[in-house]
Amino acid sequence: MNKVKTMQEAYRVFEYLGIKEVTKKWQKKQGTEVWELPFKTMYNNGGTEINRFSIYKSGYVRKMVVYGKNNASMSCYQLNKVRKKPEYFKDYKWNYDTNESEWTGKYRKRMANERILIDNHRDRVVYLCNYILKNYYNNNKYALVGDYTRGLVKENYIKWRNEFKNMQNDLPFFDGDEHDLVSKLQETCQKSSLNTSDIRVLIDGHRYILNKIG
């Protein structure tokens, strides 16, 4: 996937994809920009979440957690890349004579995570655009349509299948080439992206099997 390299390209991508800016006036004054995707993320329980992102003058890029009747941003999590940073803290040992901890005069080292801040507004916009393209438009990391919705679609498809079978049983005969009918039924099944069982069709005493899709 080609990455967006300039702020102008990023803004054009936002426009083409319907990603709209929802920055408020007071946020704009602080150097903040807020962008919202044209679709919600749907979870397995049927719940949905608005996909809203913010970029800050401080160098942070964040995904907002939006909920409530007013669709307010109640919290967030960082999208900036992470690097390891050494931290040093005093080394203590227990003195049994005084029943107190005493500094040994040495330091211990540990590695901690540090967010890499993005220095300028242009690079923050480009970073956000590439993040959205990678994680929301080019893979299945996030379920834009969850299992709950897929289950409803499959249920409706099965109902349609049963109705189609009943309709087929009501036909007294087929006036035409049975091979043409089988071909048309196969084309109908191939247009569906849902898995279903094999369909058996009886025409003039001959049984035809439409193979399972998926």
pTM for the complete prediction? Answer: 0.58
pLDDT at 89 over 50: yes
Q: What is the mean pLDDT of the chain?
A: 76
For the chain, the structural domain boundaries read 7-80+117-137, 83-113, 147-210
pLDDT at 79 over 90: yes
Burial class, 118, CB count within 10 angstroms (exposed 0-12 / middle 13-18 / buried 19+): buried
One-letter amino acid identity for 88? Y
One-letter amino acid identity for 40? K
Q: What does the H/E/C string look like for 28-66?
A: HHCCCEEEEEEEEEECCCCCEEEEEEEECCCCCEEEEEE
Please provide the size of the chain in residues. 214
Q: What share of the chain is helix, strand, coil (3-state, %, to 5)?
A: 35, 35, 35
Alpha carbon dihedral 25, 29, 51, 79, in 10-degree steps, equals: -170
Confidence of residue 204 (pLDDT cuts 50, 70, 90): low
Alpha carbon dihedral 130, 134, 138, 139, in 10-degree steps, equals: -170
Helical spans, DSSP H, in the chain: 7-17, 25-29, 121-132, 147-170, 178-190
Q: What is d(CA 167, CA 185) in angstroms, rounded to the nearest whole number?
A: 13
**Is residue 81 within 8 Å of 130, Cβ to Cβ?**
no
pLDDT at 146 over 50: no
pLDDT tens digit string along 169-200? 554 444 445 455 556 555 665 555 444 455 55
Strand, coil or helix: what is 203? strand
For residue 2, what pLDDT is reported?
Answer: 74
Confidence of residue 14 (pLDDT cuts 50, 70, 90): very high
For residue 206, what pLDDT is reported?
Answer: 53
Burial string for 129-162 (b: 16+ CB within 10 Å, else e) reads bbebbeebeeeeeeeeebeeeeeeeeeeeeeebe
One-letter amino acid identity for 113? N
Which of residues 211 and 99 earns the better pLDDT score? 99
pLDDT tens digit string along 25-65? 999 999 999 999 988 877 666 677 889 999 999 999 999 98
Tokens 């438009």 appear where? 137
